[in-house]
């Protein structure tokens, strides 16, 4: 199933080509890309909230320092969406300036830099990577996250190795089970899914 990437950006003619480029970049790494112009009629603000909430990634273009963009960016940060910041501006507000921002120009070289960095970060997100923001770093962590934080890097590597070993055992059993009772494989697949999710959670805290 393809992931969703919601784009927050000013609606100005100078950026119309940029949005087409963002669609192309997102599609190349299995993300569907869309913005608020493609939202159905109704309460635009409510729909934007819903789209940000349902997105797997958010790209926010800070060019022209548009107030609506910063408002939607704050929403994305507060609800913990993995948000990628881009801009053509040399100077951006101090609070955001402390975060990683892809700075690009409206040139062939600038477009290549933007494409390379966006693909890298979107692939990072696809692989279960995290992108922190000030709001999320301030919020209290869950009990599970605190446990993972206390693990040393070596402990995490050992834990992942043990899980991978268990996965291999399940896969061997699954092959045998499929030959004898094909319907019995479903439970084993669920176990493998759980182990894969656990590995992703551990790697996020590396």
* pLDDT reported for residue 168: 76
Residues 6 or more apart whose Cβ sits within 8 Å of residue 4: 31, 32, 34, 54, 55, 56, 57
pLDDT bucket at 57, cuts 50 / 70 / 90 = very high
Over the stretch 85-101, which tens digit does the pLDDT of each residue have?
999 998 888 888 788 99
Share in percent of the chain as helix, strand, coil (round to 5): 65, 10, 25
- Structural domain spans, the chain: 3-138, 143-204
- Entry pTM: 0.69
- Tokens standing for residue 174: 């699954």
CA neighbor of 69 nearest in space, from 5, 4, 11: 11
CATH architecture under which domain 3-138 falls: 3-Layer(aba) Sandwich (3.40)
Task: Report pLDDT digits (tens) over 134-173.
Answer: 777 776 666 666 666 665 565 566 667 667 777 776 677 6
What is the model's pLDDT at position 180? 55
Q: Between vectors from CA 131 to CA 137 and to CA 52, what angle results, nearest 5°? A: 95
């Amino acid at each position: 199933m393809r992931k969703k990437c919601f784009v927050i950006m000013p609606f100005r003619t100078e950026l119309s080509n940029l949005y087409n480029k963002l669609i192309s970049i997102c599609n190349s790494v299995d993300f569907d890309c869309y913005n608020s112009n493609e939202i159905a009629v109704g309460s635009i603000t409510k729909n934007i909230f819903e789209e940000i909430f349902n997105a797997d990634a958010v790209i926010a273009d800070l060019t022209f320092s548009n107030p609506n963009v910063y408002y939607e960016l704050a929403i994305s940060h507060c609800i913990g969406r993995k948000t990628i910041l881009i801009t053509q501006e040399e100077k951006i507000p101090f609070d955001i300036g402390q975060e990683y921002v892809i700075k690009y120009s409206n040139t062939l070289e600038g477009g290549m830099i933007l494409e390379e960095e966006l693909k890298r970060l979107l692939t990072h997100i696809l692989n279960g990577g995290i992108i922190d923001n000030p709001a999320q770093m301030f919020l209290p962590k869950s009990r599970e996250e605190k446990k993972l934080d206390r693990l040393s890097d070596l402990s995490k590597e050992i834990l992942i190795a043990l899980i991978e070993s268990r996965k291999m055992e399940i896969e061997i059993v699954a092959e045998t089970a499929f030959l004898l009772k094909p319907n019995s494989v479903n439970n084993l697949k669920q176990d493998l899914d759980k182990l894969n999710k656990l590995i992703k959670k551990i790697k996020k805290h590396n």
